[in-house]
Amino acid sequence: MDFLIVDSYWPSRKGLITLVKSNFYSARILEFELLEELLLFNDLEKSSNNILLLDANMACDSFFENVEKLKDKFPEIKIILIASKINYFQFFKLKDHIHATLSKHQIEKKIFGAIEFVSKGYRDYFSSVNQTNSVIDIKKLTPRELEVAILLSKGFGNKEIVWKLNLKKETISTYRKRVFVKLNINNNIELANYFTKSIL
């Protein structure tokens, strides 16, 4: 099993290396400061045993795009995302590309469980995601309701959503009402706050 670590903060990388070596003595560990460096790396065996411990650098504009590029280049790689906080927008954009999410505050307790989980081919190890807040209610939304909710929370008006989703204005209004009822909110400002708070 090979490990790749991407973290711009040197002490964090060294801490992860020490942690991994304590349980996987013979594993090869490669470290990178930036995700772009890993994208340029061509000496990675196309194996299902590669696990990437990825620091969630949300401040980088190209982070989400680079995660997609990485999965295109190395589709077998298993990504464990490590974040101090992540909101639902960010989680929603990443969840199809990652296999696990860990809070930085719980790394020592949960990292080996996450590694074992993803190494067996499983995905959706999101034990650090707070299941007592918005995630529970958001799961009640249908895919179309979720699409409408996300656009509304980003400031799109009904007319813009009609054009973007090719739906009738009355249909958008119906979806909007359903979203508000299911999430127990009253207006678009509350909806925007709902999606942007941290779920870790």
CATH number at residue 165: 1.10.10.10
- Asked if 141 and 113 sit in the same domain, the reply is no
Tokens of residue 100, six digits: 């696990």
5 vs 153, higher pLDDT: 5
In a domain, 127, yes or no: no
Tens-digit pLDDT profile for residues 19-35: 999 999 999 999 999 99
Tell whether the model's pLDDT for residue 132 goes beyond 60.
no
Judge contact between 80 and 114, C-beta under 8 A: yes
Where a domain ends, among 119, 146, 171?
Answer: 119
Tokens of residue 131, six digits: 């299941």
- Asked if 85 and 6 sit in the same domain, the reply is yes
- Asked if 16 and 112 sit in the same domain, the reply is yes
The pTM score is: 0.78
- Asked if 109 and 153 sit in the same domain, the reply is no
Tens-digit pLDDT profile for residues 146-192: 899 989 988 999 999 999 999 999 999 999 999 999 998 999 999 98
- Asked if 19 and 88 sit in the same domain, the reply is yes
Provide the CATH number for the domain around residue 96: 3.40.50.2300
| H or E segment and range at residue 3 | strand 2-6
Tokens of residue 118, six digits: 């993803």
Where a domain ends, among 71, 96, 119?
Answer: 119
- Asked if 113 and 150 sit in the same domain, the reply is no
Q: How many domains does the chain have?
A: 2
- Asked if 164 and 67 sit in the same domain, the reply is no
Tens-digit pLDDT profile for residues 62-114: 999 999 999 999 999 999 999 988 888 888 788 889 999 898 888 998 999 99
In a domain, 129, yes or no: no
- Asked if 87 and 25 sit in the same domain, the reply is yes
CB-neighbour burial class of residue 136 (10 A; exposed 0-12, middle 13-18, buried 19+): exposed
Tens-digit pLDDT profile for residues 34-50: 999 999 988 776 656 89
- Asked if 92 and 163 sit in the same domain, the reply is no
Give the range of the structural domain holding residue 64, as residue numbers without chain letter: 2-119
